[in-house]
């Protein structure tokens, strides 16, 4: 049989209720990822005294594990066939692993060391991959429409930001102590994650997949490599991920040592993410008028320009830095929604050429790029800070350490974002071309007949 089934190619708008149900898992997942990337490195390096250099190396090693697991899970989710669909079973299977490993990682017992950090971080990354990759691939398959995909990504990432806001507000409720904040987040994760996943699995549909004979792996790799828009997009996505990962990793250290206002960290994070979610409708509107890649370019240039002013700040300038959080938070809305929507369009081109539904594999590769970017941010920033003489245990940092911290937090990300802009300029998949690709996919499915 050459074709078993094909999803109907319509652009019907998904109801807000379905989009809400699909986006709900973003709440607990964001509450997991924010402390994992922002709070956890500083907690293990500073509070537990394991060292900036050592923690940076361990977290980088843990991320390398994803290079193996992400493509494997992505490919398996493409091939899985169950009564629940291809994507939904993975969400249910990954939840227990996430909950158990988060408990050990966020609530370390006496004598916790680098070995435990490595093992439980790897376990948590595996569980998160089992949820996140099929989850994002599922979203890409919910609609074939160019602008609808931005709307789907906007709902998902908007709820991710809501979860991030809730996680960022935890220190304001329990105090600035990182250990207490991690404990509250762990308990919330154990309760909320399974509920949100069950709602999504119950109320969000899956489109039937285009199923053909399995593609030989050599042919599959060739089609993937010849996907020029994919190569351009993933390279720009990786660079922009590094540019976003550096300030995320260094945020708490910057507020504490440069601004010298650690008590403001929760408020500043809250404002940053609040502006991100508030700006999502603006970026969606602009993308409908100007196209996704042009709008994303504008957002990255905007963020780079704002970061260029950060070196002018110093002790006590937390109000000025609040303005920086507002302005960069606005650009965050574009980073959250537009690349994810563009990724779904790139998968269409692969579907046309390979005659396979390989969204899982593609989102796995983007997942590797995302995690590699964050790992490189930690692996670059912490060792360089240590070499520059920044010792968080000292009452004050050296001028060289402060200069390194400010440069890594602001100027380096700004330069990297401009590199991402250069890569994505001239991106070829416009709304017109994407719709033509979808028509060709639909026509091919309609005319396919049994052997």
Domain ranges of the chain: 16-447
Q: What is the mean pLDDT of residues 349-373?
A: 83
* Structure tokens, 189: 């994760």
> The domain 16-447 is classified under which CATH number: 1.10.10.10, 1.20.1250.20, 1.10.3720.10, 3.40.50.11540?
1.20.1250.20
pLDDT for 451 equals 35
- For 405-443, write each residue's pLDDT tens digit: 899 999 999 999 999 999 999 899 988 998 999 888 877
CA separation, residue 372 to residues 239, 337, 360, 393, 404 (Å): 10, 20, 18, 28, 22
Mean pLDDT (the chain) is 84
Task: Give the integer Cα–Cα distance in Å for 279 and 300.
Answer: 14
Tokens encoding 247: 């300030």
**Residue 221 neighbours by CB under 8 Å, 6+ apart:** none
| Averaged pLDDT for residues 212-237 | 80
What pLDDT shows up at residue 75? 82
CA–CA dist 14, 143 (Å, integer): 8
Exposed/middle/buried for residue 217 (C-beta within 10 Å: 0-12, 13-18, 19+): exposed
From the CB of residue 269, how many other CB atoms can be counted at a distance below 10 Å? Answer: 26
C-alpha separations of 147 from 161, 178, 279, 285, 341 in Å: 21, 40, 17, 10, 8
pLDDT digits (tens, 9 = 90+) for 134-178: 998 898 888 888 888 888 988 898 888 888 778 777 766 666 577
Q: Measure the CA–CA gap between 40 and 83, rounded to whole angstroms.
A: 38
pLDDT at residue 217 in the model: 64
CA angle at residue 419 from 413 to 423, to 5 degrees? 140
Q: Do the beta carbons of residue 165 and residue 340 sit within 8 Å?
A: no
Residue 279, pLDDT > 70, answer: yes
Tokens 């008028």 correspond to: 289
Which pLDDT band holds residue 397 (cuts at 50, 70, 90)?
low
Neighbours of 354 (CB within 10 A): 20
Lowest mean pLDDT segment, chosen from 212-216, 248-252, 305-309, 434-438: 212-216
Percent of residues, the chain, with pLDDT higher than 70: 91
Question: What is the predicted pLDDT for the residue at 112?
Answer: 79
Note the pLDDT of residue 172: 64
Q: How far apart are CA 254 and CA 390, in angstroms?
A: 11
pLDDT at 109 (0 to 100): 78
Residue with tokens 């550096």: 246
Instruction: Tell me if 128 sits within 8 A of 94, measured CB to CB.
Output: yes
pTM for this prediction: 0.76
Is pLDDT above 70 for 395?
Answer: no
Instruction: Let me know: does 130 contact 93? Beta carbons within 8 Å.
Output: yes
């Amino acid at each position: 049989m050459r074709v078993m089934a094909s999803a109907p190619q319509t652009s019907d708008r998904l109801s807000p209720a379905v989009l809400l149900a699909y986006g709900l898992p973003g709440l607990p997942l964001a509450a997991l990822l924010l402390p994992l990337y922002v709070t956890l490195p500083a907690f293990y390096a500073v509070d537990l005294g394991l060292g900036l250099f050592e923690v940076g190396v361990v977290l980088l090693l843990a991320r390398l594990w994803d290079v193996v697991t992400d493509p494997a899970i992505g490919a398996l989710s493409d091939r899985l066939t169950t009564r629940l669909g291809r994507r939904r079973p993975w969400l249910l299977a990954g939840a227990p692993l996430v909950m158990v490993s988060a408990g050990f990682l966020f609530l370390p017992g006496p004598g916790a060391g680098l070995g435990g950090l490595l093992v439980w971080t790897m376990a948590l990354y595996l569980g998160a991959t089992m949820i996140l990759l099929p989850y994002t691939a599922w979203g890409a398959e919910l609609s074939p429409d160019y602008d609808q995909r931005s709307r789907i990504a906007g709902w998902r990432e908007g709820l991710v930001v809501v979860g991030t806001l809730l996680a960022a507000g935890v220190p304001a409720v329990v105090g600035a102590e990182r250990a207490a904040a991690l404990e509250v987040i762990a308990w919330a994760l154990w309760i909320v994650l399974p509920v949100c996943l069950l709602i999504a699995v119950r109320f969000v549909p899956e489109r039937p997949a285009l199923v053909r004979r399995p593609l030989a792996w050599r042919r599959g790799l060739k089609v993937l490599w010849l996907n020029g828009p994919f190569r351009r997009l993933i390279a720009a996505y990786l660079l922009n991920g590094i540019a976003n990962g550096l300030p995320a990793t260094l945020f708490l250290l910057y507020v504490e040592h440069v601004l010298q206002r650690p008590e403001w960290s929760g408020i500043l994070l809250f404002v940053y993410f609040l502006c991100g979610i508030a700006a999502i409708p603006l970026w969606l509107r602009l993308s409908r008028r100007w196209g996704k890649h042009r709008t994303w370019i504008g957002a990255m240039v905007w963020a780079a320009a704002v970061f260029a002013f950060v070196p002018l700040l110093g002790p006590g300038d937390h109000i000025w830095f609040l303005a920086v959080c507002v302005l960069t938070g606005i650009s965050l809305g574009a980073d959250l929604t537009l690349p994810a929507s563009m990724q779904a369009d790139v998968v269409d081109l692969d579907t046309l050429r390979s005659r396979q539904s390989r969204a899982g594999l593609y989102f796995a590769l983007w997942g590797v790029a995302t995690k590699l970017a964050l790992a490189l941010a930690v692996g670059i920033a912490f060792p360089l800070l240590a070499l520059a003489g920044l010792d968080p245990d000292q009452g004050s940092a050296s001028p060289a350490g402060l200069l390194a911290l400010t440069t890594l937090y602001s100027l380096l990300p700004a330069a990297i974002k401009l590199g991402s802009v250069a890569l994505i300029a001239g991106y070829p998949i416009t709304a017109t071309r994407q719709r033509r690709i979808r028509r060709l996919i639909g026509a091919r499915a309609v005319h396919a007949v049994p052997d």
